[in-house]
Every structure is written in structure tokens, then in C-alpha cells.
Structure 1
Amino acid sequence: MNTRSQRIIMKLIAASALVAGLTACQPSGAKVTPVHSDNGSQATASAGSGAASGDGRKLTIVKGPADQASQDIAIARIHRLESVSLDHWKSDDLVQITTTELVKPGTETQEPEFAYLSSTYDVTTGVKSGEGKNEETAAGRVAKEEISPDGAFSFIQEWQDKYTARNWIKNRQTGEKREIKGPTYLETGSWMDNDTYILAPGSKEGRGELLSIQTDGTVSTLQLNDLEVEAFGQFGAAQGRIYYTDNNRTLKSFDPKETKPVSLLKQVDRFDISPDRKWIAVTLRTSTGLSGTELRLFDPAGSPKGTLMAKGDTVTYTAWSPDSSKLAFAVYTEETSGMNGVYVLDTASGKVSLVGPGYYPTYPLSWNPSGTRLGVTFSGDQSLPVTEIIDFK
């Protein structure tokens, strides 16, 4: 790792100073689209070759706290939890958290020692309850649950160790669970529609199979002819198609009724499909220099929708709200005049609001079930985690 990369990583962890908003640099040959702010001023953002136009969307530049009155997304309150990381939401108001306690400070020769306590926190009352060791983690079991787009079913993985999981399809109305037999070495999978879950269980030898799992427990093997993918790192499904990135970071789309994929986009760092399966947020690597990463929206066919959403050195996290109405994302740029912090896109208006200036998350961004609260965890003093939960009006 070179000195510049080390400096960027250190800033991502340690930086907490307030930094002002956004100036979008124009890549060579890019189409420039006007971007209007609510105060009447005009900025520009590159829309890239082939970007959709005439769709009525405008990207709002939010320069900092002074402009918050003009934002579509308004903040009601921020809850700050010291030494706390956010695990998952149990309801709109209840969140599972882990509190990190410093047991023994570090020295020049020894790493610091920490203790970790799991508990439930009520955001409305500020009451923490049930503090203790996480029983599942203590027993060596880690459960992961993905809910189907219509909310009727869920796909559950319970990991016995880091290589083996048991899988179930659960009817969330009746509570009935059907176990899906077979070894699983990877967590890679996604709901393709309300009735079908696509699982790439992995293998100790090569890529492994690609499985189509129905909600009645029926399992079939899909045939994918692609020599350019050894393992499914980035993976998702939407509207009858499967999406993944290959060894060359090319985003590809695969129809299960066929055997060969279609290439959609090159230089893709990651992608995030919205819960309603109508949008794909794609992080693209545009250059190796400063501001070399862009965040854009595409439809499931790979066609661009709207204008450029973000540009910086790196887009570290993206997170869709459960109803797909908002997309939260974190951007870091070494130049402080660039995009820095956590932003939220309103998909109805196409506007982007800066909601966390100077936030550099160290955990994934997390929405509550109704999309009214956003949890952000970052590094605080002595490298202890800090979580801030943003309440939106």
C-alpha cells in the first residue's frame, strides 16, 4: 500500500471535522447537465455519455448546515451513542446495539483489550435493556435473514462456523420453515422476485452451483456459461434477472432461461439493488486519480436514470430505505471542497441532501423499517465506535 493510500485510510477513520458540501469535477468528454439548487444558484455535474435526459429530475447541491432549510429531507433530531455500534433494527424504535468497553489501554508493545456487550436500545425513550453477551454469537451461530420484496417470506442462513450454514425458507405469516438441504460456503444470494431466491452457495472447488429456490422449497440448478467469474463477490437479482461482477469488474446480467450473460457496465466497484427492484445504484471507478469514483442510478436493463449523484475518491457505503424512496450513501474526497460525508437521495424528487457532514462510517449505513431513521457508525476517541441515529421529519 503506498503512502497516499495509507493517508486516505487514516483520514477515513480519524476525520470528524465539518467539511463543506460539493463541487463536481468534469471528466474529459462528459456531457454536462445543469444542476439547480433551491437558492437559485446553478452548479454543474457530469451526466456521462448516454445519461437519461428530460426525466424531470434535478440534483440539489447542499453546501452545508446553512442550506438545510431548503432541503427536501429535513432532520428532526440526532441521537448520539458513545462506544456503540449498530447491529440491526428490531422495529422502528428498537435497535440492537453492541457497546464496546475499553478494558485495558494499549501500550507500545500490546494491543488494547476490549469487552463487548449486546443490548437493545429504545431510540424514543433512550432506555437500554437486556445487556449481556449475545447468545447466538457466544454459541457460534450467526443468523442472517433476507425478506422477500412483498414481505411474505424470508430466506434464513444460520452459520455454524465461517464455512458452513443451514438454510431455510420461512413463511412470515405462518412461521413455517422449510430447510434447504446442501452445503453453503458463501453468504451470496438475493431475492429475484416475490417467489424466487437465488443462492450462490459456493464450493471448496471453484465457483460452485447457482441455485434457484422457490418459496415452496423447490430447488433447481441454473446453468451459467461465464469463464470470467471464479466467485460471485458482487451479486444481486431483480425482475427476473441475476446481476454480478466478474473478475474484470464488469457488471453482467443473466437471464435464468439462458446460459450466457450480457455485459452492462465496466469498472464497477459495487452495486446495490433497491428493495422494490426498480433501481440499481452503481459505484463506478472512472480514474485512478482524485475524484475517481462516481455513484449513478440505473434501471434493471442497465440504462442510466437521471444525473450523477456523487463523485469523490471513494463511495464507501450505500443503503436503500426499505420502501426504496431514499438512498443513503457515504462519500470521501481528500480535497475538502469535494463531496464528504453522508448524503440521502430522494428518488421522487431526484434531490440529494447532505445529512452528515464529516461522517466517515466504519459500519454499513442502516435504515429502520419505515425509513424514518438512519443509523451511522463511525470511529470516535481511542478508536471506539460512535453511533448517531438521524431522525427525519
Structure 2
Amino acid sequence: MLTLIKNATVYSPKALGEKDILIGGEKILELVDSIELNSNLKVEIIDAEDYIVVPGFIDSHVHITGGGGEGGYSTRTPEISLSKIISSGITTLVGVLGTDNATRSMQNLIAKAKALKQEGISCYTYTGSYHLPVKTFTGRIIDDLVFIEEIIGVGEVAISDHRGSQPTLEELIRLTSEARVGGILSKKAGIVNIHVGRGEKFIQILLDVVENSELPITQFLPTHMNKGEKALQTCKNFIEQGGRVDFTTSSSKKKDKEDPSKPSKALNLLLEDGVNIDNISFSSDGQGSLPQFDEKGNYIGLTVADVGTLFEEVKDCVIQEDIPLEEALKVITINPANFLKLENKGQIKENFDADIVFLDKSTLEIKKVMAKGRTI
């Protein structure tokens, strides 16, 4: 059956004005000013006059099987539900393991990704966790990327964090080169998703890899990079060298709108400093634990990260920071699609996947979600 969306105010994420959108199967077939179909055709018509229509959101960092465990077995967080994902406007996500690669495994991760795909959304994973050597699915990073459909990169590998395995320069070069070759052979991103902690060296080892190898800076996607003013200067320098950075929207406590570690504020500060928004993305860290430690590194408590914060921060970009909607949307649509080499995602465009979110024109609240042409 065909679906025809009429009178939609479309952000592709570029503002396109009022358009009609014809959907067939899982794809956008036509995007023009007006579409009139033969009355004999079986067509579902959606009147979108009251909505802003935008691409489905891409969340590149979600603990789909749950996370945590830093405070013992009882602090393991639960796996994510489809309803939580969809109500947050997310139609594509990437699953990660994080700290715990003992009670959770790559088998768990891939099985959950397949389950979410069966439920109608797009789901990918990274291979590995915080720790080196990487515990892969097949026994080798390259083989994971080549033979496992869902795996598109490696991660999240921890640096500058007491919970990581403190990788050496040589270890990180070897891992990154394997990810790159696997990506080339499988026509996938092959990126290394890097968990960046609060250690003093921050992302210095990533710069050392680039300086001491033939590997491009774009092979990395460092996340949790929104850590205050000093970190923002590092972000600027990293982007000016051609790198990409990812800001985490979940936090263990609500941040003041003037806090430079708040993603919407951090983005605005970088834009005011002339940084290219095309090299920045947001992700939620959804279902991951947000542990708190004392000054000696002892665990004292945690909260659970929420995928719903992804679009909340984009709304704050628009409402609090006066960033145009078509620019703010980039960090959860076209930018992560480009970083992850998801060729048919991140835009409302002919021949792209029909992943669409309907927003209330006045409040920007999520009202309806389509994934691969199906209203969920």
C-alpha cells in the first residue's frame, strides 16, 4: 500500500517548505509540491497541515541490552524497549556494551539488535566494549565487520577513564587499523567509537594515533566530549584538524542552560566560534548508567541515561539557543548518518528510507513516528 503525506512543512533537515511526500514500501518515492493520485489506488492519506515533518532521529550510542553494574549486580540497568525508542522519535540506533563485557556479551547485543529490527526500526551495533583486547563475535574485528550485518564499527573503547583498560598507543593503532580494513571490505563505516572519560590526557592518545600512523582522524568518533569550556577548546581543535565529535545528552543531574557542558549550549558556543556543525553529533547514551564517584574513585550512586534527552537537547538548541531548526536537526539526522555511512538515512529525500517524525508546529512535541514507511 502507498502512503501519501499531504501539506507537510518539511525539514529535510534543510527547510523545504510545504511538500507532499509519497511513500511506497520502505522508501520515499516522491517529494514534490503537490501529488494527486488515481482514485482507484489503495492509498493511506495523512494530512500533515498541523505538523513539521523531519527525518527520523539517529542515536549512535545506546546501551540496548542495558548498562551499568559499577555498583554491583543490582545496579545493572535494564534493556531498552521499542516504545521508549519510538516515543523519543528515534528510528535508527547503534547498540554498545560499555563497561560490562562479563555479564553481557556480543551475542546479547546482536540478538537485541535483531529483535528491534524485527519490530520495525533500524538497529546496528559496535563490536567490543570499554576494554582491550576486544571481545568480538567471530574472534576478529575484521571478520565481525565483514560477516555480521549489524556490526558497523568498534566500541565503545574507553580512554582517560579509570574503568577502561588504559590502552597503549600501539594497541589503539592496531585496533583502529583493523576497524578501518574491516570497514573497507564491508563498505561500512568501520569507525572506532571512543568513550572519553575525565582523565587529564583527555583525547591526546587519538591525536598521537593520527600523528604516528597513516590512519585518518575521521576513523574515530569520540563521545562524551561535552565536559566544559576546556573540553570545548579541544573539540574545536579536533574538528579543525578534520575530526568529528559527539556530545552526550543524558546527564546524572539537570544542567543549567548556561552550563557549557550542556549539549545545546556547547553546540552554540562552538558555532559562535566558527566551528563547522557538520562535524558534530548528539547521542543519548540511553540505558547506560551515569555513575557517581567520590574524589577517591569510589562508587557512590547512579542514574539511568534516557534516550528521550536526545531530542530534548535539540529542542533546547532551538528554543534556548536560537539555533535554526534546520541546523539543530543535523546533529541527530544527516551528521550521524554521514559519520556511520548510513547511505539511505538522515534525510527526507527521494529513494531514502521513509523514517519520518511529525512534530507539533507550535511546541515541537513528537506526535507521530514512521519507520521504514510504517507508522509505529
Going by fraction, where is strand more abundant, 1 or 2? 1
More helix by share: 2
Q: Is the radius of gyration larger for structure 1 or structure 2?
A: 1
Judge same fold: TM > 0.5, yes or no.
Answer: no
TM-score by length of 1: 0.29
